[in-house]
Amino acid sequence: MSTPRRGRPRESFAIGNVRVRAGSTKEVELPITRLVTGGDVSLPVRVIHGREPGPTVWVNAAVHGDEVLGVEVIRRAVATLSAKELRGTLVAVPVVNVLGFMTGDRYLPDRRDLNRSFPGSARGSLASRIAHLFMTEVVRKCEVGIDLHTASDRRANLPQIRADLDDPRTRELAEAFGAPLMLHAKLRDGSLRQAAREAGATVLLYEAGEALRFDEHPIAVGVEGVRRVLAALGMIDPLPPGPAPERAPVAARSSGWVRARGTGILHLEVGLGEQVEAGQRLGGLSDTFGRRVRLVHADRAGIVIGLTTAPIVNAGDALVHVATPD
C-alpha cells in the first residue's frame, strides 16, 4: 500500500534581508537610520509565519511616539499566538516611530508627523523614509492591517474603531473587533490608513485611552479585538464567548467637539461612554477663586467618545467629543 504524498510545505516569508520559515517566528530589525553618535536605529518587527496557509495581516502601534498603549496590546496579543497553529501570517510592529518612542514624543526629531508622511519616499525626510520602509516591507505584503492609536496629549478616548464603514469588508471586520463604538471616518491625506487603502489593504484604526499611559480597560478591549479579527479571518480558532458587553457596539457617521466659549478652570460632569442630550450641561468653567464664569453645554445628542484631561482651558479649546449614532 503506497504512502499518501504530503502537500508541499508553505513558502517562507521574505522581509528585509531574511526569510521566515513556515511554522516559525522570527524577530527582524529593519534599518532606519544612524544616529550622530554612530548607533543604528532599526524598526523592530516580529513575523509569525503560520504553518498553514491563510491571510497575511499586520498590526502596528506607536506611529506617534507617545502612544504607548498599543505596544502593550500587541505584546499581549502576540503572546497568545503560535506559528505552529496560526493559519496565515501576522506581521507585528509594536513601535513604528522608534525615535519619538524613545523620547516620549509624538513627533519625530524634525517635528514631522509620521502619520501625515505616507506613503513616503526612499530619499525624502526622515519621516518620509520611515513611511516608505513601512509601506514597502509591511503594508504591501499584507491584505489587512490594524493600526493602534491613543488620544493626543491631554486627551482621553473611548475605545473605538475608525474605518470606512461603507465598505462591506471593512465593516465586517470592524464589527468583529467589537469595540464599544465604530466611527465612520474619512481618509486623511498622508495617513497610514489612506496609503494602505490605496495599496489595496483593508484597514482598521483603533483609538483608545491616553498618551503615555497604560490603562487596563482599553488595553483589554484592544487585545480581544485583535484576536477577534484574526478569528474572523480564519487565522485562529473562534474565541470562546466571554461576558456579554454592557451594550452592543454602536455605529456613528458623524462627531464633533464641544469647545470652550470662555477661559477658565474646567470641571467636567460627564465621562467617556455616557449618552448626552442636546443642550445638556457637561460641566463648567471657574476662575481661580472658584467662581463659575461659564457653563459648558452639549451642542448635539450622542455618546461621549473623547475628553480633554487638561484642567486649564482657553476659549476655543476642544473639551468633549460627541459622536452621533446612526
Confidence of residue 81 (pLDDT cuts 50, 70, 90): very high
Residue 79 dihedral angles phi and psi, to the nearest 5°: -65, -20
CB 233 within 8 A of CB 88: yes
Single pTM value for the model: 0.95
CB 63 within 8 A of CB 70: no
Q: For the chain, what is the radius of gyration of the CA atoms? A: 22
Confidence of residue 4 (pLDDT cuts 50, 70, 90): very low
- Judged by average pLDDT, the poorest of 188-197, 238-247, 302-311 is 238-247
DSSP for 65-78, written as a single string: TT--HHHHHHHHHH
Q: Across residues 141-161, what is the average pLDDT?
A: 97
In the block, cell 464589527 appears at 175
d(CA 285, CA 267): 6
Q: Across residues 176-186, what is the average pLDDT?
A: 97
d(CA 24, CA 6): 19
**Alpha carbon 229 to chain centroid distance?**
14
Over the stretch 101-148, which tens digit does the pLDDT of each residue have? 999 999 999 899 999 999 999 999 999 999 999 999 999 999 999 999
CB 56 within 8 A of CB 91: yes
Q: What is the pLDDT of residue 118?
A: 98
Mean pLDDT of the chain: 95
